[in-house]
Structure 1
Amino acid sequence: MEARRISATPRPCNGRRVVARKRPRQEAVISSVRKLQRREISSRRERSFAMNSAQERFRNIQLQEEFDTHDPKENNALLPYIRKRSKIIEIVAARDIVFALSQSGVCAAFSRVTNKRICFLNGSPDEVVRSLFYNKNNDSLITVSVYGSENFSALRCKTTRIEYIRRGTPDAGFPLFETESLKWPGFVEFDDVNGKVLTYSAQDSTYKVFDLKNYTLLYSISDKNVQEIKISPGIMLLIYTRTSSSIPLKILNIEDGTVLKFFNHLLHRNKKVDFIEQFNEKLLVKQDGENLQILDVRNFQLTEQFGISEVN
């Protein structure tokens, strides 16, 4: 699972939930024989077989249950904007509970056992839930919200045990990162692979890394020259402000923040950087109109993928 970053820019939120199950098959033997016949007599056998296989995979999917986060009675206390019915933008499953987040910012919990809504997670009428994250380390749900009283510009994080939600008492949770100023363009990023949380406070240009298990602060990075941070398994890549001919890069141990490598990657002058990405020990650098460069940060061996002028 890759890291998920939520920025502080406000966005709207509502929706509907569908789960699939298999139904008993009819004439399975006859169906298999017919599929083999179509494969053998088709002019394009491989393509025909692949198409039939795809159809077979999805032929038994049917509607099992339908959930709705829109409730005119329950939503009546919310702001007019949040009351509107809108599409679902996130679905999170945690054990026997399914969470659905609508585009207008309404978040509801549904039971897989009873197929009924348990509760809404909006704690106040002006709360707009922006994103959800299931923390399997302590079996809890983290909600990231913005509030109308703060002009929807500051992120607020809250953690609630799944057990409390199952009981229908989401108010039993507690806030996270209260000391952090996560106003736009600040953000919070949840890294499930490394078990870390990265926050950025634009107010003082400080990045902080927290333990996802108990939310304790591990270390801070305060440097106004850091333009971007990217997370990979075991490491973090710090991208600094570029010069005319190079871009400074620093690789840290994500556990304790110790510097593993610091180097300058040479660039073509007067050409913008399309992207810089890191996949484990490989660093991918792409400039406008130039070949894709792949740098092995262990031995600094550089490979260019010629002919790759654009990456979609």
Structure 2
Amino acid sequence: MESMSKVRMSPRPTCGRRIVAGKRPRPDDSKNCVRKLLKREISRAGNWSFNRTNSQEKFRNFHLQEEFDTHDPKAHQFLKLPFLKKRSRIVEIVAARDTVFALTHSGICAAFSRDTNKRICFLNISADEVIRSLFYNKNNDSLITVSVYASDNFSSLKCRTTPIEYIRRGQPGAGFSLFESESLRWPGFVEFDDVNGKVLTYSAQDRIYKVFDLKNYTMLYSISDEHVQEIKISPGIMLLIFDRAQSHVPLKILSIEDGSVLKAFNHLLHRNKKVDFIEQFNEKLLVKQENENLQILDVRNSQMTEVSRTEFMTPSAFIFLYENQLFLTFRNRTVAVWNFRGELVTSFEDHLLWYPDCNTNNIYITSEQDLIISYCKAHPDNSAEEVGSINISNILTGKCLAKIRADDPSVGVSPRTRSNSSNIRSSVQEALEDVTALFYDEERNEIYTGNRHGLVHVWSN
């Protein structure tokens, strides 16, 4: 899943993320009738029955294949900070080129090889480094780490990029620093936008936003306006949200490539009511105020669609599906799919999230944007259950295609793994307890989960 990750500056090693499912390029075949007919005949929509069967087969007979541990008392002896030496839950998992990266809440990041099933190295190259977030830059096959340091009193974000190949060789210090000219102190942030291939930084000290090229990290342009409250990014454009007036909020839409203003306008608001959210999706602007209807504005022609506040309640998180022109909402453990006419497209039949607050590190959307993989309640009717399940559901139909759960007799430790020397010390039930991070490697067809003990488990068939 292509993503957008924002890391804000704060003293403790936690991070917020905004996830955006990216758009895949498609050929321009609109004028070729033969191609259009062929596309219709072989499209995913036209072969739903086949694709559903294929997806079910892909996730059938998943077993626990391997276990990695991010905690190593001997390796952590050189660390200065006491909390880095303790076991800590996994908060983020990223995989690239058969290498699995696991970041703990305390700030330790470990790299593991799926070729050898051994830990390669730790990415903390300083004794006082606390890694806050990871980002895989597919443009140059490198891993970007965002860190804070005790020597700096954890006051500013520092970014470093390291080629995956060097990490695979056990040389995490072979990378180089990024954005050294920027003062990323609180409330500054850095945001990596995989969809547009851009990086957005905000220096709170100077009140300047800067846009960099994700391919070579050169600065493209800057935005200096002390009245900008927030910037939202979507394919090709940026939405600038300014300080609200009593009855409206000023907005600007900029080209993501050069920062030129494409449109400037005011959106009317109800007086004395707080704004729950303002989101931009291509030409659609979504605005929701407290106890008011959802407004969907087409900024091209000012056409407005309203969705009743009883039908659409403020979600805790969004995921935009650019390929399907839809968006997911998360609220009270439930997931729903909407279109931009304000219509509910899908409600999931068996996809009740384990955590009440939407932890997007426990959710994965496939690149085809047809499947959602999440850590869920294994038995939604059992409020007392202590072990969750990994659920794979179809986004367009809401059907549950597969579940990896502890009480399924077909799910166990892989027979191949049992016959060889293995790192696995956990049972299936223990591996599915308190899952705190999840990632799906689409090339290897493997699911990686991390838990509160700092362990990473590999699930595959």
Q: How is 1:58-77 mapped onto 2 (pairs within 5 angstroms)?
A: 60-77=61-78
Write the distance in 1 (CA, Å) between the matches of 2:206 and 2:56: 55
Q: Give the TM-score normalised by structure 2.
A: 0.57
| Structure with larger Rg | 1
1:12–1:306 distance in 2 versus 1, CA, 3 Å = closer
**TM-align CA RMSD:** 1.7
Cα shift readout 1:101-160 (whole Å, capped 9, x = no counterpart): 111111111111011111111011110000000000000000000001111121000000
Letter of the 1:310 partner, please give it: M
1:57–1:159 distance in 2 versus 1, CA, 3 Å = closer
Write the distance in 2 (CA, Å) between the matches of 1:152 and 1:215: 24
Residue 290 of structure 1 and its aligned partner are, at CA, apart by 1.1
Deviates more, 1:300-309 or 1:256-265: 300-309
Which of 132, 135, 139 aligns to 2:134? It is 132
Write the distance in 2 (CA, Å) between the matches of 1:71 and 1:10: 25
Letter of the 2:71 partner, please give it: H
Letter of the 1:6 partner, please give it: V
Residue 287 of structure 1 and its aligned partner are, at CA, apart by 0.8
Point out which structure has higher relative CO (alpha carbons under 8 A, 6+ apart). Answer: 2
Pair 1:146-2:155 in alignment: no
Pair 1:103-2:105 in alignment: yes
Residue 55 of structure 1 and its aligned partner are, at CA, apart by 9.6
1:215–1:57 distance in 2 versus 1, CA, 3 Å = closer
Structure 2: 5+ residue stretches without partners: 15-54, 316-461
Q: How is 1:26-41 mapped onto 2 (pairs within 5 angstroms)?
A: none
Write the distance in 1 (CA, Å) between the matches of 2:120 and 2:149: 23
- What's the counterpart of residue 314 of structure 2? 311
Write the distance in 2 (CA, Å) between the matches of 1:164 and 1:276: 41
Which of 171, 175, 178 aligns to 1:176? It is 178
User: Are the equivalent residues in 1 in contact too, given 2:208–2:224 (CA < 8 A)?
Assistant: yes
Write the distance in 1 (CA, Å) between the matches of 2:200 and 2:294: 28
Write the distance in 1 (CA, Å) between the matches of 2:11 and 2:234: 27
Write the distance in 2 (CA, Å) between the matches of 1:295 and 1:149: 48
User: Helix, strand or coil for the counterpart of 2:156?
Assistant: coil
- What's the counterpart of residue 214 of structure 1? 216
Q: Give the TM-score normalised by structure 1.
A: 0.84
Pair 1:5-2:6 in alignment: yes
User: Are the equivalent residues in 1 in contact too, given 2:6–2:191 (CA < 8 A)?
Assistant: yes
Pair 1:288-2:290 in alignment: yes
Write the distance in 2 (CA, Å) between the matches of 1:202 and 1:310: 33
- What's the counterpart of residue 36 of structure 1? none
Residue 170 of structure 1 and its aligned partner are, at CA, apart by 1.0
Runs of 4+ that moved beyond 3 A: 54-59
Cα shift readout 1:209-240 (whole Å, capped 9, x = no counterpart): 00000000000001000000000000000000
Structure 1: 5+ residue stretches without partners: 14-53
Write the distance in 2 (CA, Å) between the matches of 1:142 and 1:306: 42
Write the distance in 2 (CA, Å) between the matches of 1:111 and 1:57: 23
Write the distance in 1 (CA, Å) between the matches of 2:247 and 2:229: 17
Residue 299 of structure 1 and its aligned partner are, at CA, apart by 1.1
Write the distance in 2 (CA, Å) between the matches of 1:144 and 1:56: 38
User: Helix, strand or coil for the counterpart of 1:70?
Assistant: coil
Q: How is 1:182-221 mapped onto 2 (pairs within 5 angstroms)?
A: 182-221=184-223
- Aligned identity (percent) is 75
